[in-house]
Structure 1
Amino acid sequence: MTYQKITIPLDHGNRNMKTAEEVFTSGLVESDLKPVLGEYLQYNGKYYSLTGERIPYMRDKTLDDRFFILTLFGIGKELERRTQPQKDTIYQVELPVGLPPKHYGALFEKFGQYFVRPGVQRFTFNKREYLVQITKAAVFPQDYAAAMTIYPQIAAYNRVVTVDIGGFTLDYLLLREGRPDLSVCDSLEKGVITLYNRIISRVSSDFDMLLEDTDIDTIILGKNSDYSDSVIRLVKQMTKQYVDDFLGALRERGIDLKTGCIVFIGGGAKLLREYLENTDKIGKCVFVEDICANAKGYEILYQVQKKSGR
């Protein structure tokens, strides 16, 4: 038996799971039977397949094993991409992960322990068997991690506010001279899923039509769609109102959006970039386009931590 050490950062989002290179929906189905089509993971006598239906929002993702199984999917995808699987090799995985700043203090210890389980985890992914031992899980604040991927662009500012527009939550964090101030942070239940739900309900009521999240994305991004001008106009109006509302909510919490630099993070920020750039409520802003930025930032912070001997 041989051992191979490998570091695999993972971002456990409410909408998507992200490694440094892979993105997949935070949703899965369990079965006693082997799936006929698509990729699957076999673990502890059960079969798991990824699905486009995300897991309902969980503040504490350690309450059941679903996010652990999703973690094994992420590890499997990265091992498949990075290595040529060798029989009788145990991959000793170091796992940099993260939590929203608001929940970091209360949950970081529990979250780290959730992944580090006794013994070797044996699972099959895409018909290849893997032996994995998660030896360490290092937990960092989300958003701060993503900001570290663009540090040269924000290093000159004494005051930086990160705004992470995720699936269910909208998280903000103040950085003072490059360091996170966890006394000035919060996690608001104002992510883009709330926008989707409002739009879907309104369009169903007004037009007797059923929209999906991907249809709404298409309209917001100004791409060609099969919907009428009336539907498109309503979606855009509701999106603008959503942006105005959450910017107003930040201002009510004493967050000055016109001083220093605002760093917008997450798939929601990428989706809403045109609306955010065209508002007069924000001063200097920078967008982290890479939706895998948190995962990449976790690895940056983990390497810094290792070098410092902590």
Structure 2
Amino acid sequence: MGVVMSIDTGNKMMKTNHFIFHSGIKRKEQKILPGEEGIFFKGINYLESNQRISYLEDKTIDDRYYILTLLGVAKELEKEGIETGIYEGGTIPIQLLVGLPPGDYGKQIRKFREYFWRQGKAVYFSYKGKPYRIRYESVNVYMQGYSAYILVANQLYLQEQPKVLLIDIGGFTVDYLLVRYGVVDRTRIDSLPEGIIMLYKRIMVGIRQRFNLYLEEADIDNILFKRKTPYSELVVRRTFEIAAEYMGDLLGSFLEFGIDFRTTVTVFVGGGTVLLKDIIDEVWKRYHSTYYVVDDPRANVKGFIKQYMAEKAGY
């Protein structure tokens, strides 16, 4: 059995077992220096970048997410102290676990698997000057959101619930699915283009119009995470007001879809959920129903692994 690598290829952030980094890379003409986060692949140096890739409806359109995934693999191999030379033939076998949003899962699963597998051929690259040779023995593609459900279902006794609404707030999309006694209702699955990136835009416009102040995404993160910032109390308060308006609008859209929170147990997951935890708690007071916030940005990554291990065990 090879090395199991679980990677969430998010629109805003990449998540692995141990790392979270921006979904952004840039080319570098010079050699990668010691300490720089980057890989050398097919004759080109790629550096990790805080400037995320613009939203791609189809991530297989070019090699950027393939390279970002290689970077995630490299980080994990280094952390685990796994080197090419310890394997027979000098190739590290990888079982790659990735995911797709519910709305894209059925139509993109085959393409997404092929995008990474590439006939299982050996892949050569170097990370921090150390050469690696890997081969994807298998590529398993799971449904994001449902993987997070699997992770917390036993702990929260969700299989016993007649209806569980899973809301995964991501970078560009908000994915949702309805689960009835542990079984996904395929008629209640979709991905909405209302993720955190849309919230950033709302806040940037609102703050610029009122205060003539230009915020970056990182500035907004710092405010919403309640970190120390140089901004006035008025700017901070308005940022939270816009975030609350966003969350109110988002939850209101589910009522338009015919989903009544009073008849479901609602579970929030995803990186956007972690960012907006306090906002969710405040806005939810108007609904008077059961909900949970999974404060773990790697919930899908861990869920991929749990599903994979269950499959290997024959469950």
TM-score, normalising length: structure 1: 0.94
| C-alpha displacement of 1:132 | 0.4
d(CA) in 2 for partners of 1:219 and 1:86?
43
Structure 1: where are the runs of 5+ without partners? Answer: none
Moved more, 71-80 or 214-223: 214-223
Trace 1:135-284 onto structure 2 (pairs within 5 A): 135-152=137-154, 153=156, 154-278=158-282, 279=284, 280-281=286-287, 283-284=289-290
CA contact (8 A) 2:32 2:128 kept: no
d(CA) in 2 for partners of 1:194 and 1:286?
23
| C-alpha displacement of 1:15 | 0.5
d(CA) in 2 for partners of 1:168 and 1:84?
34
Instruction: Name 2:74's counterpart in structure 1.
Output: 76
Percent identity between the two aligned chains:
35
Moved more, 281-290 or 125-134: 281-290
- SS of 1:116's partner is helix
| C-alpha displacement of 1:219 | 2.1
> C-alpha deviations, 1:190-220, integer Å up to 9, x for none?
1111111111122222222111122212222
- SS of 1:53's partner is coil
Counterpart check, 1:296 vs 2:297: no
CA contact (8 A) 1:192 1:268 kept: yes
Trace 1:38-187 onto structure 2 (pairs within 5 A): 38-87=36-85, 89-118=90-119, 119-152=121-154, 153=156, 154-187=158-191
Structure 2: where are the runs of 5+ without partners? Answer: none
CA contact (8 A) 1:20 1:293 kept: no
Q: Write the letter of the residue equivalent to 2:131.
A: E
> C-alpha deviations, 1:102-144, integer Å up to 9, x for none?
1101001110111012421010011111110012111111000
d(CA) in 1 for partners of 2:169 and 2:288?
15
Gap change, CA 1:140 and 1:86, over 3 Å in 2: closer
| C-alpha displacement of 1:296 | 1.1
Bigger helix share: 2
Moved more, 68-77 or 110-119: 110-119
CA contact (8 A) 1:259 1:284 kept: no
Structural RMSD (CA): 1.6
CA contact (8 A) 2:84 2:134 kept: no
d(CA) in 2 for partners of 1:251 and 1:227?
36
d(CA) in 2 for partners of 1:179 and 1:32?
50
TM-score, normalising length: structure 2: 0.93
CA contact (8 A) 1:89 1:131 kept: yes
Instruction: Name 2:26's counterpart in structure 1.
Output: 29
- SS of 2:91's partner is strand
d(CA) in 2 for partners of 1:168 and 1:216?
16
Moved more, 174-183 or 72-81: 174-183
CA contact (8 A) 2:160 2:182 kept: no
- SS of 2:58's partner is coil
Q: Write the letter of the residue equivalent to 1:22.
A: F
d(CA) in 1 for partners of 2:287 and 2:240?
18
d(CA) in 2 for partners of 1:217 and 1:58?
22
d(CA) in 2 for partners of 1:180 and 1:61?
25
Count of equivalent residues: 306
